[in-house]
């Protein structure tokens, strides 16, 4: 038996019903690696598909940033002044076509909403609409 093991003839032969800790760990590692490889492939495939979704607006040459001056204790009036100054300064940068503020950012799953009802149809239930506060220039683009 020692001679066969040295020759490698019994390298992959296991006795019936006997699993060592080493073999179990090796099998577990191989299984988890295969699961991770499959999950990575599915994720990359989904990411590729998501990159071709039409999101409803032009995202090329667009810079979006999140600014909340109220986190630093700004009042509502001071926040308005800050955002107007920020828009003015960013708009003065070379190559900038349009500058606007929006609250909340589109596709952020954050937001405000309000209910309304149609006056001519009293039997219809109230409807809910998403509210976006925007500044002038939000819908302006470079014509492409």
In this prediction, residue 144 has a pLDDT band, given cuts at 50, 70 and 90, of very low
Print the SS3 string covering the chain.
CHHHHHHCCCCCCCCCCCCCHHHHHHHHHHHHHHHHHHHHHHHHHHHHHHCCCCCCCCCCCCCCCCCCHHHHCCCHHHHHHHHHHHHHHHHCCCCCCCCCCEECCCCCCCCEEEEECCCCCCCCCCEEEEECEECCCCCCCCCC
Q: Average pLDDT over the chain, rounded to whole? A: 80
What are the residue boundaries of the structural domains of the chain, listed by start? Answer: 10-50, 69-134
pTM of the model: 0.50
The winner for highest mean pLDDT among 28-37, 63-72, 83-92 is 28-37
Q: Give me the mean pLDDT over the 128-136 stretch.
A: 82
Least trusted range by pLDDT, from 1-5, 52-56, 132-136: 1-5
Contact 114, 108 (CB under 8 A): no
In this prediction, residue 141 has a pLDDT band, given cuts at 50, 70 and 90, of low
């Amino acid at each position: 038996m020692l001679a066969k093991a040295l020759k490698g003839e019994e390298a992959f032969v296991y006795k019936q019903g006997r699993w060592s800790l080493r073999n179990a760990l090796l099998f577990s590692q191989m299984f988890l690696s295969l699961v991770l490889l499959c999950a990575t492939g599915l994720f990359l495939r989904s990411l590729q598909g998501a990159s071709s979704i039409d999101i409803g607006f032009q995202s090329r040459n667009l810079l979006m940033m999140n600014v909340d001056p109220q986190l630093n204790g700004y009042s509502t009036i001071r926040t308005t002044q800050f955002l107007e100054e920020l828009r003015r300064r960013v708009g003065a940068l070379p190559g900038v076509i349009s500058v606007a503020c929006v609250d909340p950012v589109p596709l952020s799953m954050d937001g405000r909403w309000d209910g309304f009802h149609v006056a001519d149809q009293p039997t219809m239930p109230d409807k809910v609409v998403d509210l976006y506060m925007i500044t002038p220039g939000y819908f302006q683009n470079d014509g492409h």
